[in-house]
Amino acid sequence: MQTNVLIAGSGCAGMYCALHLPKDMKVTIITKKTVDKSDSFLAQGGICMLKSEDDYDSYFEDTMKAGHYENDKGAVEIMIKSSQDVIQDLVSYGTDFHREPDGSFSFTKEGAHSDKRILFHEDITGKEISSHLYDEVKSRSNISVIEYAELTDIIEEDGACVGGIVNIGGETVSIYADFVVLATGGIGGRYEHSTNYSHIRGDAIDIAKKHGVALKHLDYVQIHPTTFYTEEKEERSFLISESVRGEGAKLYDKNGNRFVNELLPRDVVTSAIYEQMEKDGTKFVWEDLTVIDPKELEEHFPNIVEHCANHGYDVRKQWIPVVPAQHYFMGGIDVDYSSHTSMERLYAVGETACNGVHGKNRLASNSLLESLVFAKRAAHQMAELKAEREVYV
């Protein structure tokens, strides 16, 4: 098979990248399972947006502080200043963010944010964004999607990536391409407890390592402080969004006492929970959502309310048990500001890539934004290179 751009992964980064490639370029998206089985569809909290220039310094500092000041300042600046443009794109595709009665955007707040700057759609923002991206992808005649197709290797010639080896229904197929984009997501499937789908195991990281492609900060793994604790065996840990703490939810020890400021960065809250669990000899701590107005719970967090109810907890009246679980990968394949890797014609976007935006710890709701901003930049560079040279292979 032959295509102009081969994209491995159907999350928001892969699809958004495809949508910003010229319509005269043939784009092939492959995905290990079905399109909706990407972690992008699971994102609950929301997506950050720079509300005004007055918020820039604060947003920049919040991102840097959460990342322990190990962030790449240039990448952070690009992400923040590109945010309004990305949101306009999403709205044009039909994404429905919550709005105020006057039609303006509603904003919520999460841990380590000094202001409300997060757009949301109930507690399924990722699904809202990704499903509309997929609708747009399906409408483009130059983009094809192959499900149950797993990238097992890339094809390297003279130090450049010229395609990928793909397992499609048990058959090995070579797909040659002018460019290859790795967008296979994070590494959650390697953990016993993770909010990620179990099949998302950082496949592209192994492939990159095999070919000597530069990697970065592979030990920078984020543990989310609050997932629903259950003794039942589930495919993945159910996330209790940080937004509930942004709206006032509290964390208690076994005796009902608060033990941490709930709005501190995720790694700090996670450490506090682990310490409290060890001190109390428990497998979880309690999270109190009863302090949130019932109407707010129903409108903003309907899926969390439903999930807890299915496990016997009425969040309007009862505390729920929560425990940390692996959530996000800040490291990955080392890329520049256009998402290009150390190998010619090979790109990496989304959680697979490491452009330095997040530093050592990701600020809440920066993941969707970062994925989209740098996926678009990758698309623009590939389009420019293709225009300069009509064909590669």
332-334/346-348 β-pairing: unpaired
Catalytic residue chosen out of the listed positions 117, 201, 266, 345: 266
Q: What is the CA radius of gyration of the chain?
A: 21
266 labelled catalytic: yes
3-state secondary structure of 286: strand
Q: Rounded distance, CA 335 to CA 356, Å? A: 9
- For the CA atoms of 168, 153, 33, 40, the dihedral, rounded to the nearest 10 degrees, stands at -150
DSSP 101-159: TTSPBP-B--TT-SS--EE-STT-HHHHHHHHHHHHHHT-TTEEEEESEEEEEEEEETT
List the strands of the sheet with 221-228, edge to edge. Answer: 221-228, 320-329, 285-288, 250-252
CB neighbourhood size of 275 (10 A): 12
| CB proximity list for 227: less than 8 A, separation 6 or greater | 193, 195, 237, 238, 239, 240, 322, 323, 324, 325
Q: Is the dihedral of CA 328, 331, 334, 338 positive or negative?
A: positive
DSSP 170-187: TEEEEEEEEEEEE----S
Check: CB of residue 374 under 8 Å from CB of residue 354. Answer: no
Residue 238 CA to chain centroid, in angstroms?
15
Tally: H helices and E strands in the chain: 10, 16
For 267: left if phi > 0, alpha if psi spans -120 to 50, otherwise beta; the answer is alpha
Q: Rounded distance, CA 175 to CA 34, Å? A: 19
Annotated catalytic residues are 266
